[in-house]
A and B are shown apart, each in its own frame.
Chain A
Amino acid sequence: MSITEILFWGLSALALFSAIMVVASKSPVHSILYLIVVFFAISGHYILMNAQFLAIVNIIVYAGAIMVLFLFVVMLMNLNAESEPKKNRLIQFAGLISGGCLFLVLIAGITRSTSSNNMMQMGGGDFGLIKNLGMILFKDYVIPFEISSVLFLSAMIGAVVISKKGD
């Protein structure tokens, strides 16, 4: 068992355990903290696949900015385990069964596929480095990059308009 496989299984176990705890934990603050662990595990997978730019962006944008925003909102609302809404056992069971059925169907699909044991290039290849991605982003994809700035502006205006007091 190579070092890559050991790291893969460790990071996968961490990501899956934390993802289950996001869904299962009672307190919203604990859910957010477990979701940050999931994002760090996924960033570890990106580093394992030599996509270093995406790993750094994932940590900065998701674990840094988005989760802090979630944490602010939860603490602003003063939510805790006691204010959790009452849950219907039957609905929970039905959701678990339907999610499990989707999982079984997708897993059965990929195990019957002939190309599912194609090898991946784990290390090596400098495609994911910031130099190459920056060259492509500002040569071939400069129009979508500029359009995304308009998207951000409209999202900012939308957030301000929605959360404005009164009407």
Chain B
Amino acid sequence: MEIQWYIGLSVALFCTGIVGVLTRRNSIIIFMCIELMLNSVNLLLVAFSKMHAATAVLQSNPNVVSDAQIFVFFIMVVAAAEVSVGLAIIVMLYRNTHSVDVNFLNRLKN
């Protein structure tokens, strides 16, 4: 399998997430699109680690593949912490405005 197909898949998933963030106004769906973008980047990191497993980089540094997967593991850890705080903020927003529309957030100005 060539690396270009995995790059193409990750780019497609990432751009779907960006279109969702730009077009939707429901804050929960915007948050879910951010999760989608994080997952596409994780997929790309694992794909690159397997590309390096097939090339000569491995002979000089045999831990390079496992290092990449540990890195993805830490991204998942940070994403889990981010989701808990973000959902708490959305719940607080809903309690104050009775809506999840992000356009109501411009009331923070006044």
Contacts and interface: CB of A to CB of B under 8 A. Distances in A.
A66 B39 CA distance: 13
Given A12-B9, A38-B39, A117 B3 contact: yes
Interface string B53-97: 111000000010111011011101111111111011111101000
Nearest to B11: A106
Contacts of B3: 115-120
B18 to A, nearest CB: 5
A99 B22 contact: yes
A137 B13 contact: no
Interface residues of B, number: 71
Interface of B: 1-9, 11-13, 15-20, 22-26, 28-29, 31-33, 35-36, 39, 42-43, 46-47, 49-51, 53-55, 63, 65-67, 69-70, 72-74, 76-85, 87-92, 94, 99-101, 103
Nearest to A115: B3
Contacts of B101: 85
Contacts of A160: 88
Contacts of B91: 73, 76-77, 163
Contacts of B9: 12, 15-16, 45
B54 A119 contact: yes
Interface in A68-94: 69-70, 73-74, 76-77, 79, 84-85, 87, 91-92, 94
B43 A45 contact: yes
A99 B66 CA distance: 33
Contacts of B63: 136, 140
Contacts of B17: 19
B46 A49 contact: yes
B66 A136 contact: yes
Contact of B92 (A87, A111, A163): A163
A151 B81 contact: yes
A116 B103 CA distance: 41
Contacts of B5: 8, 12
Contact of B84 (A35, A110, A159): A159
A31 to B, nearest CB: 6
B94 to A, nearest CB: 5
Interface in A90-105: 91-92, 94-96, 98-100, 102-103
Contacts of A5: 1
Q: Which of B12, B23, B65 has the largest count of A CB atoms less than 10 A from its CB?
A: B23
